[in-house]
Structure 1
Amino acid sequence: MVSFWANVIMHFAIAFGVVFGGSMLSGVAAVLTLQSPTEKMLTIAENIKIWAMVASIGGTIDPIRYIESHVAIGHLNPAIKQIVYIVVAFIGAHFGTSLIQMICKGGTQP
């Protein structure tokens, strides 16, 4: 049985990796197609964030059904775990987007 914390780390890493990897590869594609890599990477990082969360949690409807079914019968612990996974996936995707922004813009912005 995989522990809760192992799942939390996995969801974070998957969401982060989808955003970071997709953005980096879009930068390579932009170079090959003679487009601006920084603009393409920034655009892709923002647009792919929600899909990184979906990929991390394994779908859009099943986790919501899981939460609803457990809350309906009074089992809050599994529902809270699922909500934590969704929040952690968002944080991972956001960190990936922030890292791409730092790389493309040359550091922190005011």
Structure 2
Amino acid sequence: MHVFFPKLVLIFFTAFGIMIGATLMGSLAALLMKEPPVATMLSLAKEIKIWAIVAAIGGSFSTFEILESGIFQGDLKAMVKQFFFILSSFSGTHLGYFVVVNLTGGKN
């Protein structure tokens, strides 16, 4: 148990950081190219959500392998852990998206 919760928090903040960092760097690139940075931030926030989730949990293949072993080998504990890791990643990504939308004054 002592490894599970730190990893859960790490995944959450990694997903959150990917969302915030990608949108901020994208808006900087838009500013350099004389494009509207706020619109770019909103667009990137919508487009990068799934990639932030996948990147935060360490790629999709290992997750699918663990889920497969849980289903076919009956390892329920591994499946539950992966579910919480995916949920943590989704939560961090959604919070990052929510922050970007509120900072830019945009709408979901």
State whether TM-score is above 0.5: yes
CA distance in 2, matches of 1:2, 1:14: 19
CA distance in 2, matches of 1:23, 1:2: 33
| TM-score, structure 2 normalization | 0.92
- 1:47 correspondence with 2:47: yes
Deviation at 1:70? 2.2
Q: Which runs of 5+ in 2 are unaligned?
A: none
- Who is 2:96 aligned against? 96
CA distance in 2, matches of 1:18, 1:77: 28
Give the RMSD, CA atoms, in angstroms. Answer: 1.8
- Who is 1:29 aligned against? 29
CA distance in 1, matches of 2:65, 2:41: 34
SS at match of 2:60: coil
Among all aligned residue pairs of Structure 1 and Structure 2, give the percentage whose two residues are the same amino acid: 34
| TM-score, structure 1 normalization | 0.90
CA distance in 2, matches of 1:55, 1:25: 17
Letter in 2 for 1:97: Y
- Who is 1:69 aligned against? 69
Deviation at 1:36? 0.5
- Who is 1:11 aligned against? 11
Letter in 1 for 2:24: M
**Alignment size in residue pairs:** 108
CA distance in 1, matches of 2:100, 2:68: 35
Q: Which runs of 5+ in 1 are unaligned?
A: none
